[in-house]
């Protein structure tokens, strides 16, 4: 899916800690973000956490935050840190960064 940057009204950075690496969490987050029509990326951090940067509607970002707090069936989320960002308009899809 490719989305127009003009429709991105809000942006968030989520840092998810817990058992979130090596359990398919990034692929689960990718699917959730695409279902919510968000653009941005998800990636593993060197310290065992996962970073998600997402742009889209406020409603979709709130729903994504709720998804992240629950996590996938194979993960165990300990904490979700959320930061408000300005939409950059640079993303046209949601991807997994390596």
Catalytic residues: 26, 44
Rounded to whole angstroms, how far apart are CA atoms 85 and 83? 6
Torsion angle, CA of 19/24/27/32, rounded to 10 degrees? -60
Give the residue among 55, 58, 61, 71 at the shortest CA–CA distance from 16: 71
Helix (H, G, I), strand (E, B) or coil at 6: helix
């Amino acid at each position: 899916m490719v989305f127009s940057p003009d429709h991105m009204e809000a942006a968030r950075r989520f840092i998810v800690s817990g058992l979130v690496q090596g359990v398919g969490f990034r692929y689960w987050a990718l699917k959730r973000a695409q279902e919510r029509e968000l653009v941005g990326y998800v990636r593993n951090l060197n310290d065992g956490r996962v970073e998600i940067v997402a742009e889209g509607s406020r409603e979709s970002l709130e729903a994504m935050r709720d998804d992240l707090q629950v996590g996938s069936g194979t993960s165990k989320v300990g904490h979700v840190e959320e930061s408000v960002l300005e939409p950059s308009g640079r993303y046209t899809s949601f991807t997994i960064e390596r």
